[in-house]
Amino acid sequence: MSRATVSVLPLTAADHSLLSTLAQARTAPRHHAERAGIVLQLATGRSVREAATRLALSRQRVRRCARRAAAVGVIRALDDLPRSGRPRQITPAARLWLVGQACAQPKALGYPHELWTLRLLASHARRLGPAAGHPCLATLVPSTVRAILQEQEVRPHKVRYYLERRDPAFDERLAAVVEVYRAAQQLQDVAPEGHRVAILSYDEKPGLQALAPTAPDRPPQPGRYPTVQRDHEYKRLGTVTLSAAVDLVSGVVHHALTQRHRSCEFVAFLRRLDASYPAEWRIRLLLDNHSAHRSRETRRFLDSCPGRFELVFTPKHASWLNYVETFFSKMARSVLRHIRVASRQELCERITAFIQACNDTPVAPKWSYGLGTPEARAAP
């Protein structure tokens, strides 16, 4: 490359400032600093020989950088230009065959594994690939398998769970549930003395464990223990079941703590609700499809007080439509998280104290899903 070709390298004030910073930077990549220095030397009119001497580089290296800068610009010349790279040794047909094998379950191909591993899939391809007409798979390794699967966005070693809709009356039940929430929000704007119906969201949370520590906790100590120190062992003191109903109009939570959640406990809770509201009110209860909610004992109680209770059932496997689950989630993330107690009675007392604190400042629930949709308009 001649001196004339080098001297016409375009270099604006901004480019000169950037290249000067890179050439003197201590943290920039070495090849960036080196190429920035070459371009600055050449932009001043120096020849390739002079620039190579001043920078202690080979003339070939300086000349190659100068050609790159003249072809793509001085800024882009700081990075390596894309190259063709090593040609692929695994053919597209072999890649397609491998992806097809990955989409089949290993147990269907005679393996005891439930899911593929990269090592297992590579071994499978090395064993059967050449016989299937793909000799390039004879030396396949797990890292290449990973690259091929990532290219096709296939992850046969992972499981993502979903829930099949198993309720044929899902749409009808969804409409009834949405109607309950719409009625509750309308009643939130009505004075309490104007209510003639109580609308509640009910469910049980069984299996709340009373766990006792085996050693006292150690509080945080600045500079030594940033967190609470706790012995990993614990004692099981039994479980309790929390039954709760959130008033969707006022936000008040009715609850009961029992050992089990059978029909008799559910009926006892209904009696508790019956005593909590005026006799002339209608109590509309939103709940799931637990067997205790439909048992003969429950139906006998409901028949004994006709017109008092109205049960609205959520669709099967649709607990997310029941607002009380939000209350349970809040309690699990605040009170029950890492809880340790000395007895089962203490667990009940702490749960009761939390619910009483919520009732001291109740918050009227807000529900938005489904309101104003065709499902809501179609509800009776």
Do 96 and 211 belong to one domain? no
Do 270 and 307 belong to one domain? yes
Determine the pLDDT at residue 4: 39
Spans of the chain below 50 pLDDT: 1-8, 373-380
Determine the pLDDT at residue 374: 45
Determine the pLDDT at residue 283: 96
Q: With respect to residue 270, please indicate whether it lies within any of the assigned structural domains.
A: yes
Do 233 and 268 belong to one domain? yes
Do 340 and 252 belong to one domain? yes
Q: With respect to residue 115, please indicate whether it lies within any of the assigned structural domains.
A: yes
Q: Which of 277, 268, 217, 210 is nearest to 243 (CA)?
A: 268
Do 274 and 335 belong to one domain? yes
Question: Residue 132's domain spans which residues?
Answer: 92-151
CATH number of the domain residue 183 falls in: 3.30.420.10
In the chain, how many domains are there?
A: 3
Q: With respect to residue 87, please indicate whether it lies within any of the assigned structural domains.
A: no
